[in-house]
Structure 1
Amino acid sequence: MERKYFGTDGIRGHVGKGAITPDFMLRLGYATGKVLGKMSAGKRSSRPYILIGKDTRVSGYMFEAALEAGLIYSGVDVGLLGPMPTPAIAYLTRTFHARAGIVISASHNPFHDNGIKFFCAEGYKLPDEVEREIEAALELPMEAAENLGKAYRVDDAASRYIEFSKASTPWNFSLDGLKIVLDCANGATYHIAPKVFRELGAEVTALSASPDGLNINLECGSTKPKQLQSAVVEQGADLGIAFDGDGDRVLFVDRNGDLVDGDQLLFIIGLYQQEHLGGCKGIVGTLMSNYGFELALRERSIPFERAKVGDRYVLEKMKANGWMLGGESSGHIICADASTTGDGIVAALQVLRALSEFGLPLHQLKARMQMLPQHMINVRLGHRDGILDHPEVMAAVSDAELQLADNGRVLLRPSGTEPLIRVMVEGRDSTQVEQLAQQISAVVQRVGGG
């Protein structure tokens, strides 16, 4: 069945347009309850139990109420977690042996967007076949269950997740003497992250930790880190940490105010595992991971593979290889020995653990990996049919690869939503990289009638 509502990361859109309406959320809650209510899981009562968490955007209140009503009407008990990071819902779903966890969030998007993510009982994203069942159930007429569900407020959700986050490090791990600036993006980590790092001993300054429903991700967080970069330098902090609106992404800022992205953070964690924990089995990146990251891992005999862009694909390849570490340059990092999904706080703690064990500041440790210049051009086309396999385009790519030799790479990616081909070239020489990207783009544009 072709999926009408679900994308690769749940359902997302502009509030009030398309699928993202209170009426749809009511029907989605009912359909979810009917489908997941049939599946076996831990028994909390005679009725299935599903958790709902959300980030801090204002539309979360009405969508929470609509989902809650639909689930109750289908005969499901509901646990209301309130504002919580996305990975917290994954963790709490496992902890409470719930049938599923639902996250109301549009992640790093502005407040006027919202969406839904689902976690199964084991804390992973719902399988495709279950999402298809829910889509089919959306067409069913709503009929009240004989045994209506009830809703419960989970008052200790935040404290449980704080302790879980701290427990991802050794019992004697301490951040004493470390001065950190946190940017909580006015999102779901605002009441969690400062407590985690303070309770571990750090001196913490929290930025963008006063959500009002409208300021989530507004000129702050991992997508807009400039205020954090300035604050770290002005306050003489050791480093800064930026989360996105729902807390599943993290980026760092070193003491010089320079941004440290997900590839660099993955390298630091992998290097620590390789040199201090008996070895790193391997790391999964994406098609967009910096080539310098791949080269740095190769030099240290750490296996590396690329997945399609998206945490779902990264996790699939991690599972297939039996590896514990993977992620994206955006800062979505999965530490599978601690969490089932990308977790900004847990990933940040693994980086800090590495810094502590190496006894080096962030700017020095990240220097062990050389990021290569990367240039990307979006080529808008009249059509995309057969572009990537066109002889002229293939010849242009082959010529560029020959010039780069083993010191770079070329990637052409069609946009999933627009008539675009993204032409990306990486290499050691920034001038060469830009020239080759322009040459390939010109061929793509000519062939595609751009």
Structure 2
Amino acid sequence: MMPAPRLCLIEDDPIMGESLCDRFALERLEHDWFRDIASAGAALRTREYAVVVSDIRLRDGTGDALFESLRAEGVAMPPWLFITAFGAIDRAVGLLKQGAADYITKPFDLDVLVERLQGYLEPMVSDAAGERLGVSPVMRHLAGLLPRLARHATTMLITGESGVGKEVVARELHRLGEDAGAPFVAVNCGGLSESLLEAELFGHEKGAFTGALQRRPGVFEQAHGGTLFLDEIGDMPLAMQVKLLRVLQDRQVTRVGGSSSREVDFRLICATHRDLRAEVQAGRFREDLFYRIHVIHLRIPPLRERRDDIPWLARRFLAEAGGRGGEPVKHLSPQVEQALLTHEWPGNVRELKNAIERACVLSAGDQLMLEALFDDVITGPVEVEGFGSADLHGYLRACERGYIEKALAANEGRITITAEALGISRKNLWERMKRLGIPALEPDKG
């Protein structure tokens, strides 16, 4: 079993330290409390922590000096959250630029601090537990349903836009079921021609067609005793739908070029990004097959409907990408997190993961660079005038304005093309331009 994530508290004020430790204990957060720079530094060089909470001003030094020295030594750095007095906010903002994760000003609400810490700890806890699909209410509810479905349901349909994680849910259902040790076999019904799909599903005998040099069992047989995941079943040709329905009714398959049938038994999970009811009405999907696979229906909402999951997923992807090629594990600054939250993510979780992986490659140091997230449009960093005197809201607004202006310039002012490049709708782009005071360069071009 993986150890519980542990946090490091650096605080020399006994009243503040005891108060924080009491709350951490109440929240069942494993933690170590250090009252001086020397002992904290020794621990951080030898132990693994999930997050550091450090006061800036300490009796034997400063928390930011420790932060900078550890970075210079190349120590693997967990996310750092600084506690600072109101008068030292500029100093804390400077630390964010250097790679700190966040800061909180005194006096602060302990609930707020715990909520922020949970944002760093929850991905690690959920990975260890293997039970969580997200932190948003809808994904928590879905995760709560899966154990019962995994025990009792044998046929399920998962719907949702491309990239939302339909296969992730299917694999979780398999993992939670009694057949977890049996095969999980996945096939994309929309990625193969009809003839190749038939051979993939049913298998073939040697010599059944040109290139069939040896006997090969299909996925129905491969999934026997386990789970068969048919992705994008809405793209399956009608002729294949008839054959699939027959297998589901008879639980027998005959290989292409064969004469004898074989019994098969598997849990069936289907997935599609299409509206199958509409496909049935349009004559592109068989009604009898629809009712056969529509026993249990799970809808995975897109990221824009569960934005609470975006930072959670981003930190998971950062953890997965961390350490490659000797690079330090990177963290999300408040600016980057805000950019993630405001993006529409038409490609959903898949797009988010690709963006994080790309930004990890392009970002130097241990913090993601804002301009590296969407480098398909921006070729250089966004220049923000007067950044040193701008508050966080002003900075983010300036970044967004600069980003959109460069995207418009790169696409010669064409609104539709620019919106597609930014991954948002045309209406959304117009609304953002209006809010930010960006004039349309060439409105007639669309």
**Which TM-score band (shorter chain)?**
under 0.3
- Choose between structure 1 and 2: higher strand proportion: 1
Report the TM-score, using the length of structure 2 for normalisation. Answer: 0.25
Report the TM-score, using the length of structure 1 for normalisation. Answer: 0.24
Larger radius of gyration: 2
- Choose between structure 1 and 2: higher helix proportion: 2
